[in-house]
Amino acid sequence: MEAFAMERSAFELRITDFKSEAKDIVVLELQHPEKKPLSPFTAGSHLEVYLQNGCIRHYSLLNCPSETHRYVIAVGLAPNGRGGSQNIHQALRMGDLLKVSPPRNNFSLVDASEYCFIAGGIGITPILSMIRRCIAQGKKWRLFYSVRNKQRAGFYEELQQLSESNIHFHFNDEHEGCQLDISKVIASLSPEEHLYCCGPEALMQSVKDAAHHLPAQHVHFEWFSAPASVQAATDTGGFRVKLKRSGQEIQVMADQSILDVLEQAGMDLPFSCRAGICRTCEVTVCSGTPDHLDMILSDEEKAANTSMLICVSRAKSAMIELDL
């Protein structure tokens, strides 16, 4: 399984720079301890980071994909998070070693003539790499960056240097607390423009609602947390999971996830987000019909029913067989 392979291929990088970028945002530069070239990545890629407190987190690469000597990530402090960002902000320092897996991309920049980016808060990180790629390729692009206030706007000065005409900053406190007018942005899109969005759930949901009439292949999202609709999803009843390799059958109750049940049965499975947004726990479906509740598989992948994310997705059939 890919997730196991990724975990086995994890390696250590040295933190060669650690600095504050904006309020509650720190930037980490990572290099090979022996200054060796790093694995290439594409715009929109992320690193899976293994922290000292046991947390596994995913952070977008924000530097230019042409760079092979370093990875650069930014981490926003989440006071009510599960400990990942707090560990990085409080426990890590320049010179420390950090265990990571090679870059992966669930938010790739498709080939298009025009791009419109909408970012909110720390959601600017994957967009930055995409903008750099657009500039390198001479592609037409524009950015709408919504932040609570200027003090929380990561990479504000750098973005201004990249382009003054292509970037539209929206600071809520300068608009009497009002949010960015998403409907107006969506209405301005050209037929050729591809829309990319990353940020807080409220912003993402607003964009998703406003862009519902656009071709699905023109709208791209990267979720940092599961929407409330996914978190609140419940099943009318339980179902059974059959493990192909052992033939064992296990009951999954309505208030349990497949991952929870398999962990309780003693299986050590790869996972990270437990929210259906990272693909780490993806497994192959051998038979049965999944009820896809994740935010990462494409509509085509969900329709194929050949794999599922066991941290959130369930079964529509009474039995589902997994390649485990």
DSSP code, position 264: H
Q: What are 170's strand-pairing partners?
A: 146
E strand or H helix that includes residue 43: none
Strand ranges inside 236-306, DSSP E: 239-243, 249-252, 282-287, 290-291
DSSP code, position 201: H
pLDDT tens for 233-289 read: 555 579 999 999 999 999 999 889 999 999 999 998 988 888 898 888 999 999 999
d(CA 270, CA 56): 10
- The pLDDT assigned to 178 comes to 86
How are beta strands 11-22 and 307-309 bridged, if at all?
Answer: unpaired
* 89-98, 113-122, 234-243, range with the lowest pLDDT: 234-243
- Give the pLDDT band (50/70/90) at residue 6: very low
C-alpha dist (Å) from residue 240 to 144, 231, 276: 46, 21, 20
Task: Please name the residues in contact with 99: beta carbons below 8 A apart, sequence gap of 6 or more.
Answer: 10, 11, 12, 49, 50
* 6-10, 107-111, 186-190, range with the lowest pLDDT: 6-10
Task: Please name the residues in contact with 5: beta carbons below 8 A apart, sequence gap of 6 or more.
Answer: none
What average pLDDT is seen over the chain?
91
pLDDT of 5 strictly over 50 = no
Residue type, position 142, single letter: R
Cα–Cα–Cα angle for 71, 6, 299, rounded to 5 degrees: 95
pLDDT tens for 163-219 read: 889 999 999 999 887 899 999 999 999 999 999 999 998 999 999 999 999 999 999
Q: Which residue has the higher pLDDT, 81 or 71?
A: 71
What residue ranges define each of the domains in the chain, with the CATH number in brackets? Answer: 2-104 (2.40.30.10), 114-225 (3.40.50.80), 231-322 (3.10.20.30)
In the chain, % helix, strand, coil (3-state, to 5) comes to 25, 30, 45
> Which whole number is the average pLDDT over 277-306?
93
Counting Cα atoms < 13 Å in the Cβ hemisphere of 271 gives: 18
d(CA 284, CA 94): 40
